[in-house]
Structure formats: C-alpha cells, structure tokens
Amino acid sequence: MTQKIKGAPQRTKLLLVAVVVVAVIVAALLVVLSSQSSFSQSSYDYSGIPQSRQADGGFVLGDPAAPITIVAFEDFLCGHCQRYKATVDQLISQYVAKGMARFEYRFTPVVEPQGYSRTTAELAECAEILRPGSFWNAHDRLFELASARRFNDSSARSFAEVMDMPYADLLACSADASQVDIDLQLATQLEVRGTPTVFFRLGDGMPQLTPFSNQPTIEQLGTLITQFN
C-alpha cells in the first residue's frame, strides 16, 4: 500500500503562493525600471553655451544671435515634462550648442500649483541667485529628483546637497523668488493649458505656437529651426 505524505497539499499551496508573490514583485520592479528609463538624466556640460535671461527674467540657453528660440512651459513634477526632457536634451546638443537656436524655460506649476511644483521653481531660481551660472544644472538636478520619487522636503534638502548650497540660504531666498509668478502671467496670456507646451519666438517677438503639437518631436523642431537658419 502506498503511503500518502501528510501535508503535501499544504506545501504545494504555499509554494504556489510564493511563486505568485515573486512574480508580482518582479512585475513591480519592471514597471519602476521602465518608468525611470523613460526619463533622460542629462549630465550635460553647459559651461560652453551662453546663458542669459529675457527682459522679464525668463531663463535662456544659447547664442543670443540665434534666429529662433524654442520656449517650453514646464513643471519639474510633471511626468510628461520628465519624459519630454529627452527631446529637450537632443534639442540642446543638436541645435542650441551649435548656435542654431536658443532654449527658454518657463516655470509653469500645474501638478501642485501652490505646493512643491512652486517650490521647485523657487529652488531653481534661487540656485541661480546664490550661484550665477548654475540654473541649468539646477534644472537637470530637479528633474532627476522629481522623477525618482514624490518630491517633498527631503527632496529639497537633497537638491541643496547635490548643488552644494546651504539649504537655509535656499529657503531664505525662496521667500522672495518671483520668476514663477512672471512665467505664470505669460502662460496665462498665451493660454497655456498644460505642460509641457512648446512655443517658438523669433528675435524678441512674442512666443508663437509651433505648427506641430504642444510637444513637438526633435525631428519637427529640427524642421522648424532649419527653416530660419
């Protein structure tokens, strides 16, 4: 007579549960890695590219003699903006660094209008105030921090650390940071409905919508830029 092994069905059930748990964990990790890989963590060296500001304070990267400026209304906390940064990085390397275009960044806090979206804008402006010439590095670091996890007070402290700036000084400066309000006024004037929204300007003229979508591809931006070069 064959002897039945007591507890075998229970062990089988436990094994199946363990397999299911492992599969769920692996799937979750794949989702996280996929979302992180969609963000371009640029370590671009901006030191060789002219940096300036518009008359109203808007931050601009590129040769002042470039005939066209690509203007982006963005929020560091916006997932679409984080993914669109890969296109911005290509724009900078292929056209801005070569003097064919300029890139203009406008703070447009929409994810948390009165919360951390606004805080990140103030931190970016204050980085430039405390250390002139650091805005574009601050721009990249904020996108990295915001894409890695939900932005909070700990993230703001991490920003101060990676920028090697006193956190207390950044906080004190942020109380008077006003560029975000100026940019929001321009966004309202241009009827910006979401982020990212990309415009272009010729010379010192007002920004105009591109003939493409609000998020033109690098190929579409290239077509637009070469039209004026």
Three-state SS string across 155-170, please?
Answer: HHHHHHHHCCCCHHHH
The model's confidence at residue 4, banded by pLDDT at 50, 70 and 90, is very low
Tokens of 70: 């690509």
Q: Give the pTM.
A: 0.81
The model's confidence at residue 44, banded by pLDDT at 50, 70 and 90, is confident
pLDDT reported for residue 149: 84
Low-confidence winner among 15-29, 87-101, 189-203 (lowest mean pLDDT):
15-29
Q: What is the average pLDDT across 134-155?
A: 95
Length of the chain: 229
Burial state string for 31-68 with b = 16 or more CB within 10 A and e = fewer than 16: eeeeeeeebbbbebebeebebeebeeebbbbbbeebeb
Q: How far is CA 75 from CA 111, 189, 197, in A?
A: 7, 17, 10
The model's confidence at residue 42, banded by pLDDT at 50, 70 and 90, is low
Q: What is the average pLDDT across 63-67?
A: 97
Residue 7 in this model has a pLDDT that exceeds 90: no
